[in-house]
């Protein structure tokens, strides 16, 4: 099967019917992503790309099926001794792999306790394996660069608790004052 763009009219398929086509197209796209050190692709972009290139579209939201495609990609990678290419697909919100990546970690014989920080750390090192396989210019300090990324992405954002100042209350009628500080009930008295 070819992952070349299908120029025919748009065809809607079920997830199970599209899975083999999308897996092949995803493999090719992820190999291309791995050829540039530090590159990743958002799940949504990957879903859009593989549907476009295969001509097989689904009416189902990508969140309902992209994990199955990446799981299938992982199976092919293990069967063909390829690096874990699914590690290159990340969430747009935070640049991390999702909980579905635990399947890939378990399939590789490692412990996946469901810890998002450990999952992210493993995915970053899996990406390094991909870059070393497909990228012609991996920096000598690639591991240190990626470790810094792990530390940065795994650091919990500091959340300053906003302390709300209590609303001002009119001392005469006991209603909350507007931003002007002048009570609309008492200003005429």
Q: Is residue 170 part of a domain?
A: no
Number of domains in the chain: 1
Please say if the pLDDT value at position 86 is more than 80.
yes
| 78 inside domain | yes
Residue 160 lies in a domain: no
Grade residue 5 by pLDDT with cuts at 50, 70 and 90. Answer: very low
Which value, in Å, is the radius of gyration of the alpha carbons in the chain? Answer: 25
Do the domain assignments include residue 167? no
In a domain, 121, yes or no: yes
CA gap 7, 176 in Å, rounded: 65
Q: What is the DSSP string of 111-176?
A: ---S-HHHHHHHHHHHHHHHHHHH-S---TTHHHHHHHHHHHHHSPPP-PPP-PPPPPB-TTT--B
Global pTM value: 0.74
Q: How far apart are CA 89 and CA 93, in angstroms?
A: 12
Domain range spanning residue 138?
11-154
pLDDT at position 164, please? 64
Under the banding of pLDDT at 50, 70 and 90, the label for residue 153 is low
pLDDT tens for 99-139 read: 889 888 888 788 766 788 888 888 988 999 999 999 999 99
Interval 158-176: pLDDT, tens? 455 555 667 788 888 878 8
Q: Is residue 95 situated within a structural domain?
A: yes
pLDDT tens digit sequence for 54-69: 999 999 999 999 999 9
Q: Does residue 120 lie in a domain region?
A: yes
Residue 182 lies in a domain: no
């Amino acid at each position: 099967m070819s992952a070349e763009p299908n120029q025919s009219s748009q065809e809607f398929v079920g997830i199970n019917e599209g899975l083999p086509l999308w897996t092949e197209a995803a493999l090719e796209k992820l190999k291309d992503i791995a050829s540039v050190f530090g590159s990743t692709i958002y799940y949504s972009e990957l879903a859009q790309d593989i549907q476009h290139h295969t001509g097989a579209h689904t009416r189902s939201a990508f969140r309902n099926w992209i994990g199955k495609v990446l799981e299938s990609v992982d199976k092919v990678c293990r069967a063909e001794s390829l690096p874990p290419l699914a590690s290159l697909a990340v969430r747009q919100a935070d640049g991390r792999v999702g909980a579905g990546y635990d399947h890939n970690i378990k399939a590789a014989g490692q412990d996946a306790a469901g810890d998002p920080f450990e999952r992210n750390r493993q995915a970053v090192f899996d990406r390094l394996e991909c870059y070393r396989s497909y990228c012609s210019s991996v920096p000598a300090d690639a591991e240190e660069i990626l470790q810094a990324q792990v530390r940065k992405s795994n650091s919990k954002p500091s959340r300053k608790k906003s302390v709300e100042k209590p609303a001002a209350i009119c001392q005469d009628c006991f209603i909350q004052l507007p931003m002007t500080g002048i009570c609309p009930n008492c200003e005429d008295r």
